[in-house]
Structure 1
Amino acid sequence: MQATLPMLRTVLLLLLLIAHRAAAAPSAGDYLGSQACATCHQAQYQAWQGSQHAHAMQHASAETVLGDFADARFEQAGVESRFYRRDERFYVWTEGADGRMAEFEVRYTFGLDPLQQYLVEFPDGRLQALTIAWDSRSRATGGQRWFSLYPDARIRPGDPLHWTAPSQNWNFMCADCHSTAVRKGYDAERDRFNTRSAEQVVGCEACHGPGAAHLRWARTGAQGTDKGLTLLLDERRGSSWRASLERLTARRSAPLAQRKEHEVCAQCHSRRAQIAEGYQPGRPLLDHYRPVTLEPGLYHADGQQREEVFISASFAQSRMFAAGVTCSDCHEPHGQKLRLQGNALCTQCHQAATFDTPAHHFHPPGSSGGQCVSCHMPETTYMVVDPRRDHSLRIPRPDLSERLGTPDACTQCHSDRSAAWAAKAIGEHYPQRKTGLQTFAEAFSDAEQGLPSAIEELAHLLGEQGQPAVVRASAAARLGQTNADVHWDALAKGLGDPDPEVRLASIAGLERAPAQQRAQILGPLLGDSLRAVRSEAARVLTDVQLPESLAGQYAKALAEYEDSLALHADRADSRVALALLRQRQGSNEAARAELTQALRLDPAHLQARLNLADLLRALGQDDQASALLAEGIARQPDTAVLHYALGLTQVRLRQADKARASLAEAFRLAPDDRQIAYARVLNLWSGDPGAALQILEKLTRQHPYDAPLREAATRFNWKAGQHAAALRHAGCLQRLQPQAETVQRLLGEQAPAAGDVQHACGPEPSGS
């Protein structure tokens, strides 16, 4: 905490850090624009001009706008929007933030194919993306029409998905990847943006770095292996993929020493959070971005893409990535086209006589089923019309799909068949089942189900150096979310992993470890070479008394963390994170101010409202918390957790009838939420114990490995005289926590032995 360093010294260190960052940042004059590259690199420039990068964002004009603005109309859920031109400008008549229909000028186009979006500029510098987009595909393929990105919903003003909401804000959500060298320019005092970029599109310098020094090198004939560039993208130079008679797949002639291309592409082609501006090719990615791991909700348990995750982490878990394949081995980087079409792309390295044949893929040659990508890179469609291929390049595993419910490439085409059918068919063709490189699905699935065995499985994955780094990092992230203390040793070992993403995920997982333990094992990470790692260590050590020898490193790393939050002060998420930091530093009033500001920026931000209500409770101001939650319910009446939080507040205010009604409504809206359902159990117990036990029984079936639920089921059933049910739940609890004394404490001499009730908790782990 800040008490480890005098305040003046902290401020001085922060000022020095800011001055260093300002001095290191490239000036606007270092960037020349893509046109400056055309003279010497004409072929590359011409290829780039036809690319998506060159059309990532453009001023709206007759040449750039693809959509129908000839008084075209689009109706959804009773709201009719109109698109038209006037005086060579483009306008939309649609519903604004206040719920009224109004005219908005379209200032920019956004993207090209298979859809184009449009940006509206507001007086405070915000650019907002309309959620009605133009389908730019051909009419024959269903395009040339206006469509909604949320076709099945009525998105009302105030909804987080409304086009005027922060989730559709270009300055934060889009600019950094659709333009070159972006500076967001948010003024927190005035709540205004002055966003600027070196080039409006994704230009040459986005991938090669600022060009001024390179141009000087070219003009003067200066010496130097770097040619005046911040990074030479030369990973393919001097190497090749060599085939041999004894191998079916070519191997790289020389090992890949660095991941230059991958990091350059990952600045945008990854799901990540920006922690600092000023990234240039050649700089460490984790000094500017924090990539997400294979998180549940974003990825399926086997690592296949679920949400829009932008390729990078998918590719990083593949065997091809491990073998040294780079992005430009398959993609021509300037025009962004594939280097070869169809299976010819794959048979550059994979022997055609073995793999491009019905004996391998058991489909007719030339058919869609005979395409390598159909089985190894299945598509998921995002934004209604935009199919993206999964770059994890995995062996199809319908046997896993059958057990774990993961997607199956076979039944994606054979939609009338089951995963069991597909598993049987593949088993007949390949009796010796190939598991592929990705062997973590069972462990991740077990963790998502809450199986006790998952802790050991995740710890093993974390320490297995043969696993891709993104998998080890994902294991650390899941391990940190468990409630068991036994994972801390595994996470402590993860802190020494050579891959920074593993270190980063391991730090976060140790947040709940005892303060003394955190001080001992996390202190050295304050001096890590990467900003993302050391600033995360500082965050987790905020409430820990550190030795004076670490005070300087801590102050610098914490300043970097706070700087990352200040960069996104326009976002409620960042304000909430800063509020949590202030609470850990013991400043509740500062936390309250940040949460209040978060709700001003985004009144629909659920976490800000819940955190502020919880802080008000801690301050003994339940009346204000109740009013705050009631206001949230008025805005979002179908949000169960708001009714739940209000019900708990009303319990504390001794408003029994109101609390009962609030908790009943929360349970109606989210009957499968374990916290809400358990609160409903407690609320019902005194008046209707039978109904309470029914809910509790359903909860334990849905969450069979939740020890606190089993303990509650044991206790309540015993109280109700349902001794057989109590013993059944106690048997499971004994299996879940064999070292604990919980069952003996609850039931005394009636407690069963750990082995008396077999499989009481549900099915065996998926890997068994």
Structure 2
Amino acid sequence: MSERAEPLPRTAKRFDPMLYRLSCLLLLTLSQPVFAEDLELPDARGYLGSDTCISCHEQAGEDWRQSHHALAWTETSPENIVADFDGTSFHQGDMEARFSLSADGTPRISVTEIDGVTTEYPVHSVVGIEPLQQYVLETEPGRLQSFDVVWDTEQERWFHLYPESDYPPDDSLHWSGVYKNWNGRCAACHATGFTANYDSETRSYASTQVEIGVGCEACHGPGAAHVKWVESLETTQTPPPAAYGFPVDMSDPAAAIDQCGTCHSRREHFYDGNPPPGLPFNDAYNIVPLHAGLYEADGQILDEVYVYGSFLQSKMYAEGVSCNDCHLPHEATLKADGNAVCAQCHSPAGNPRFPDLPLKVFDGPEHTHHPKGSDGAMCKNCHMVERVYMGNDWRADHSFRIPRPDLFPVTGAPDACSTCHADKTAKWAADQIAEWFPDSDKRGPHYGEIIAAGRRDPHAATPQLETLATAQDQPGLVRATALWLLDNTSDPAVAEEMVKLFDDPDPLVRAAAARLQRRTGPEARAENLPDLLDDPVRAVRMSAAQAMLTGQPGRMDAVAMADLRAALGEWQASVQSRLDFPETHLQLGGTALVNRNLPAAASAFAEAARLDPQQVDAWVMQARIALAQGDQQTAIRVLQEGADANPGAITIQEMLMDLTGGAGSLLPPGK
């Protein structure tokens, strides 16, 4: 928090609320920034490319070249493509994809869509290497899309990532739609020094990157300062700078985890493409809490959440274990085979870095209660339950949890035991574990029980959620989830009570507590939030600023107002980096409505519907705004367009029938 010499009284120098309102509305209509300086965007300054690094670090480069990082995104060449493009084909319903090579050897994909239209695309680039390989197509200049028919490298066959889908080309979930866009949704984690460069006026991309693939500088940061120091050694023995000149010190466990988390997480980004290297995670992203549909109630992975969120729940993370303790950083593989990875610490020898570990045999039948060498004796099969994503890719939960089948009646979450023993019940598994470990202290209350209750009825679970939110011995992501569930109660008294978390050491908790303040009155927000507007963490500052959008800034002193302007500027810049996302415009529309700026809200919802025609709420909100302005004809037109895009949307159909007296559209065709 910045120093505030001689703070002004809360009533002094009242800020003009009309000017503040105008500033907010300008922000919401996405004009040029009116608050603070723009965020520094990543660019190629200081990047040298992996070949420069490897010219000195040959062994590291050799290890890296065949890694999944290096092959995360590659050029189209015979040595990079493993699929069969020799006249093969794939059918799903009325869709057909044919794979061939042109005369010059360029791989091509000819797609006949379910509407009968056939288009041929040269393969733009290649994604991944195993257990599947995907291909990127350029559908218009600069716009890259990830094709849904991919190659199974294990069974050597084509398959569809979404075998139950049957989307027409105008559906947003079609491979050519907004959610499969490579520039905005994928490329930042498959490239080095990437910037999407989306133009919201032309709705086009001019993306750039230092190199495709996760290169040396994607993890270490630009190498120019490092090379400059090395070159100085030719004339003088200059002491090495911090981290040898790199922005990221990968030998620092916390820095390494943050850097790995930039890609291995389900999050909302603040920057266009890659953030400035070395930036702490919460200065570059908002991590998604344990939302239903993404995580089981007990925090296990459900949807694709990319490891980081589950790792934050683990005791290993709390004790200082980092990614590099288990994974070789350049090869991006495990440090040892099988249980030997875990036995680095969990063994009679232990590990001096973690003196509290019990020194006993874990890799043996006395602990596993399964024959040595069997699947049940593998540490990961009990403590890192795997799920299949993208059709054939097994991903492990990284919360390293102890199996708790006894929680199933409350959480409904699966457990390692009955997942493997599919013919058995969770109760059977719970009884078996109780028999094996009768004196265990690991079967007490679990936060999953509270989260499950909060998902069912946050009002009834409020006391439990408040206790969980303030429990310092629980993971920050879990506590932030409890605060997010409390937000669903809309109770201002609960929000006021959680002000005490503004000093919490975990930024995830502070940010969630700030968001919760939207449930308080404008005066309370102006009183409570100023101290978070200059929090050292960007995610916290932005959350506080968003909560202040409908506050009473006139009650804030000049220093707090300056902090508010700066934080709103950061939020604006982050929004501008996501204008190709329909969900961004839904957020902007909702915020504009709160500020009673109906034109800005209508514009935002219209853009959301244009980017994703299946966003039913975007059509409905446009119609409601038109009706609020007395424009029934526009409301009918919008609803008719929404009905054409969503024939089965009951909400749209009912509104349209109400407005037309059951006659359907009253507008002439094409109007």
Q: What TM-score do you get using the length of structure 1 for normalisation?
A: 0.77
Give a deviation string over 1:500-554, Cα, whole Å, max 9, x none. 1111122222223211112211222221222222122222211222135232222
Correspondence 1:523 to 2:530 = yes
Residue 452 of structure 1 and its aligned partner are, at CA, apart by 4.2
CA distance in 2, matches of 1:554, 1:13: 17
2:571 aligns with 561
2:176 aligns with 164
2:294 aligns with 298
Equivalent residue runs for 1:7-156 within 5 Å: 14=33, 17-18=36-37, 21-22=39-40, 25=41, 27-86=43-102, 87-95=104-112, 100-137=117-154, 143-156=155-168
Match of 1:261 among 256, 259, 279: 256
Is the 8 Å Cα contact of residues 626 and 646 (structure 1) preserved in structure 2? no
Correspondence 1:439 to 2:483 = no
Deviates more, 1:309-318 or 1:589-598: 589-598
State the SS of the aligned residue for 2:192.
coil
Residue 442 of structure 1 and its aligned partner are, at CA, apart by 0.7
1:275 aligns with 270
CA distance in 2, matches of 1:515, 1:110: 49
Q: Partner amino acid for 2:138? A: E
Residue 131 of structure 1 and its aligned partner are, at CA, apart by 0.4
**Structure 1 spans left out of the alignment, 5+ residues:** 138-142, 236-257, 660-768
Give me the CA root mean square deviation. 2.5
Residue 574 of structure 1 and its aligned partner are, at CA, apart by 1.7
Is the 8 Å Cα contact of residues 255 and 280 (structure 2) preserved in structure 1? no
| Bigger Rg over Cα | 1
C-alpha distance 33-438 of structure 1, shift in aligned 2 (>3 A): farther
Equivalent residue runs for 1:679-698 within 5 Å: none
1:374 aligns with 381
Correspondence 1:655 to 2:661 = yes
Give a deviation string over 1:453-490, Cα, whole Å, max 9, x none. 41111100111111111111111111112244442134
CA distance in 1, matches of 2:324, 2:260: 10
CA distance in 2, matches of 1:345, 1:162: 41
1:513 aligns with 520
Equivalent residue runs for 1:314-325 within 5 Å: 314-325=310-321
Residue 115 of structure 1 and its aligned partner are, at CA, apart by 0.6
Residue 558 of structure 1 and its aligned partner are, at CA, apart by 1.4
Deviates more, 1:222-231 or 1:313-322: 222-231
Match of 2:504 among 464, 474, 497: 497
CA distance in 1, matches of 2:562, 2:444: 43
Q: Partner amino acid for 1:524? A: D
Q: Partner amino acid for 1:517? A: A
Match of 1:307 among 296, 303, 306: 303
Equivalent residue runs for 1:310-709 within 5 Å: 310-351=306-347, 354-435=361-442, 439-450=446-457, 452-546=459-553, 547-549=556-558, 550-638=560-648, 642-648=649-655, 650-651=657-658, 653=659, 655=661
CA distance in 2, matches of 1:542, 1:291: 22
Residue 629 of structure 1 and its aligned partner are, at CA, apart by 2.8
CA distance in 2, matches of 1:263, 1:288: 10
* Number of equivalenced pairs: 625
Q: Tell me which protein shows more helix as a share of its residues.
A: 1
Deviates more, 1:392-401 or 1:40-49: 40-49
CA distance in 2, matches of 1:500, 1:437: 27
Residue 622 of structure 1 and its aligned partner are, at CA, apart by 4.1
Deviates more, 1:543-552 or 1:511-520: 543-552
CA distance in 1, matches of 2:318, 2:108: 49
Residue 310 of structure 1 and its aligned partner are, at CA, apart by 0.3
Q: Partner amino acid for 1:193? A: Y
Is the 8 Å Cα contact of residues 97 and 164 (structure 1) preserved in structure 2? no
State the SS of the aligned residue for 2:286.
strand
Correspondence 1:3 to 2:18 = yes
Residue 635 of structure 1 and its aligned partner are, at CA, apart by 2.2
Is the 8 Å Cα contact of residues 276 and 287 (structure 1) preserved in structure 2? no
Q: Partner amino acid for 1:393? A: F
Give a deviation string over 1:397-425, Cα, whole Å, max 9, x none. 01112443111100111011111111111
Residue 572 of structure 1 and its aligned partner are, at CA, apart by 1.9
CA distance in 2, matches of 1:8, 1:161: 36
State the SS of the aligned residue for 1:119.
strand
State the SS of the aligned residue for 1:611.
helix
Is the 8 Å Cα contact of residues 43 and 195 (structure 2) preserved in structure 1? no
State the SS of the aligned residue for 1:411.
helix
Residue 654 of structure 1 and its aligned partner are, at CA, apart by 8.2
Correspondence 1:179 to 2:191 = yes
State the SS of the aligned residue for 1:487.
helix
Is the 8 Å Cα contact of residues 363 and 370 (structure 1) preserved in structure 2? yes
State the SS of the aligned residue for 1:53.
coil
Is the 8 Å Cα contact of residues 458 and 488 (structure 2) preserved in structure 1? no
CA distance in 1, matches of 2:126, 2:164: 25
State the SS of the aligned residue for 2:268.
strand
Residue 571 of structure 1 and its aligned partner are, at CA, apart by 2.1
Residue 7 of structure 1 and its aligned partner are, at CA, apart by 6.7
- Choose between structure 1 and 2 for higher RCO, CA contacts under 8 A separated by at least 6 residues: 2
Residue 383 of structure 1 and its aligned partner are, at CA, apart by 0.8
CA distance in 2, matches of 1:8, 1:488: 27
C-alpha distance 420-482 of structure 1, shift in aligned 2 (>3 A): same
C-alpha distance 96-568 of structure 1, shift in aligned 2 (>3 A): farther
Deviates more, 1:86-95 or 1:162-171: 86-95
C-alpha distance 516-16 of structure 1, shift in aligned 2 (>3 A): closer
Deviates more, 1:388-397 or 1:343-352: 343-352
Q: Partner amino acid for 1:191? A: R
State the SS of the aligned residue for 1:197.
coil
Is the 8 Å Cα contact of residues 158 and 604 (structure 1) preserved in structure 2? no
Identity over aligned pairs, percent: 36
CA distance in 2, matches of 1:601, 1:658: 25
C-alpha distance 216-438 of structure 1, shift in aligned 2 (>3 A): farther
C-alpha distance 334-487 of structure 1, shift in aligned 2 (>3 A): same
Q: What TM-score do you get using the length of structure 2 for normalisation?
A: 0.88
**Structure 2 spans left out of the alignment, 5+ residues:** 1-15, 349-359, 666-671
1:288 aligns with 284
State the SS of the aligned residue for 1:160.
coil
Q: Partner amino acid for 2:262? A: Q
C-alpha distance 271-436 of structure 1, shift in aligned 2 (>3 A): farther
State the SS of the aligned residue for 1:74.
strand
State the SS of the aligned residue for 2:333.
coil
C-alpha distance 308-527 of structure 1, shift in aligned 2 (>3 A): same
CA distance in 1, matches of 2:584, 2:394: 32
C-alpha distance 643-281 of structure 1, shift in aligned 2 (>3 A): same
Deviates more, 1:586-595 or 1:33-42: 586-595
CA distance in 2, matches of 1:16, 1:359: 63
